[in-house]
Amino acid sequence: MKKTFDKFSTGILEMMEASYSVDDAINMMGKITFPQDINKKWNEVEFEGKVVANLAKNVALDRQTGNGYGWGQCEIHIDAGKVDYETRGGLRFGWKCTPREDNGGWDEQWTFYIFHPQGEFPEGSTLKAAFLEKGWSENPA
């Protein structure tokens, strides 16, 4: 599933509304606070930084425990234009930031995506239905 947004905050908040797992991964290391004036570009950048930091903390602190309970299985990959996160259960989500073509590249756009652990969403998936209801495309490529 994928969808492109003009603002990072709009995309990530919609993704968090549609998926408990995404919301949980982002807020597990501390509830993300939404900037008061999100219309200022700096606040958008700061908000994205907080989301990335929380996801990175999940990975860094998700260590194997003495009882051997399968911790240490989530992953994150970050570069200047993309963040890709995988939960312990195998749900993969993230976003890619690219220059907007329609204004000479002066502003960015964010394409958010989510992949089911089994590859395709199974028949009757409530997660798939939640994203489709919000206008997401089924082709994440």
Domain presence at residue 56: yes
Query: Rounded mean pLDDT of 62-85?
Result: 78
Decide if pLDDT at 21 tops 60.
yes
Q: What is the dihedral of CA 98, 102, 2, 60, to 10 degrees?
A: 20
Query: Rounded mean pLDDT of 44-50?
Result: 86
Domain presence at residue 49: yes
Count of domains for the chain: 1
Domain presence at residue 141: no
**Mean predicted lDDT score pLDDT of the chain:** 85
Span 79-137, pLDDT tens digits: 988 999 999 889 999 999 987 776 665 678 899 999 999 888 999 999 999 999 999 99
Angle between the N-to-C axes of helices 8-18 and 20-27, in degrees from 0 to 180, rounded to the nearest 10: 120
Among 31-40, 72-81, 91-100, which stretch is predicted with the lowest mean pLDDT? 31-40
Query: Rounded mean pLDDT of 11-29?
Result: 93
Cα 9 to Cα 110: distance, rounded to the nearest angstrom: 10
Domain presence at residue 140: no
pLDDT of residue 100: 72
Domain presence at residue 109: yes
Q: Which among 115, 66, 32 is positioned nearest to 24, based on CA atoms?
A: 32
Q: Which among 6, 28, 2 is positioned nearest to 103, based on CA atoms?
A: 6
What is the model's pTM?
0.86
Handedness of CA 41, 139, 121, 84 (dihedral sign): negative
Which is more confidently placed, 115 or 44?
Answer: 115
Residue 13, domain extent:
2-133
Domain presence at residue 28: yes
Cα 84 to Cα 59: distance, rounded to the nearest angstrom: 12
Q: Which two tokens stand for residue 73?
A: 């299985």
pLDDT of residue 104: 60
Which is more confidently placed, 3 or 80?
Answer: 3
Domain presence at residue 12: yes
